[in-house]
Structure 1
Amino acid sequence: MEANRAQNGIQLLLAAEQEAQHIVNTAKAAKMARLKQAKEEAEKEITQFRAKMEAEFQRKVAESSGDSGANVKRLEQETEAKIDHLKREAARISHDVVQMLLKHVTTIRN
């Protein structure tokens, strides 16, 4: 009878060990599933964040390009205005400059 009880105790311990192992395995599987889900969600968020940042970057590049085109046009207009001003000034004083040069070239110094 004592041997029977010992045998039953051992059987109970083995059953309890198997149940514990099953619980541990289930917990490990659940943990791995949660980690996999968290990783997938993180990758999804990263992809969305990258897409958002890329779209913002492209928008800023487009804005900068637009500003650059406007700056180029403005600089071209300013340059043309300065060239016109210099041409008018040169035309206005060219007669006086020619007269001054002729005077210096034709004057003889001792």
Structure 2
Amino acid sequence: MAANRGQGGIQQLLAAEQEAQHIFNAARAEKMARLKQAKEEADKEIVEYRAQVERDFHRKVAESSGDSGANVKRLEKETETKIFHLKTETERISYDVVQMLLNHVTAVKN
């Protein structure tokens, strides 16, 4: 009787091991399917992004090949605006930057 119980226990263990292996294989297959789907979605996003960048590039090329006088004036205006913005920001934060530098230079550390 004890031998039958031992055989039954071994059979249960083998069945449980097979079931665990099936669960593991199913999980692995699902993981691989999700990875494949994620890769396909990423590839799709890359294609869309590349197309958008190329459209922007072609638009800028078309703009620059147009009336060059208008482009020069537009670029000069953009440059002046950026320079004005940089000067304004420099004036706004220069005192704080000088104070910060002085604090770091004159601070004594052990």
For residue 33 of structure 2, what is the amino acid of its counterpart?
A: A
What is the aligned partner in structure 2 of residue 12 from structure 1?
Answer: 12
Q: Distance in 1 between matches of 2:27 and 2:58?
A: 46
| TM-score normalised by structure 2 residue count | 0.62
Report which structure shows greater RCO (CA 8 Å, sep ≥6): 2
Runs of 4+ in 1 over 6 A off after TM superposition: none
The answer to whether the aligner puts 1:59 opposite 2:59 as a matched pair is yes
Alignment RMSD (CA, Å): 1.4
Tell me which structure has the larger Cα radius of gyration: 1
> What is the rounded CA distance, in whole Å, between the counterparts of 2:47 and 2:30 in structure 1?
26
Q: How far is the alpha carbon of 1:68 from its aligned partner?
A: 2.7
In 1: Cα distance, 2:23 partner to 2:61 partner:
56
- Partner Cα separation in structure 2 for residue 14 and residue 63 of structure 1: 73
CA distance, structure 2, for counterparts of residue 67 and residue 43 of structure 1: 38
Letter in 1 for 2:2: E
How far 1:28 sits from its partner (Å)?
0.2
Flag structure 1 segments of 5+ consecutive residues without an equivalent. 72-110
The answer for unaligned runs of 5 or more in structure 2 is 72-110
Q: Distance in 1 between matches of 2:69 and 2:45?
A: 36
Q: Within 1, Cα distance between the matches of 2:28 and 2:5?
A: 34
Return the letter of the residue paired with 2:50. Answer: R
- Number of residue pairs matched by the alignment: 71
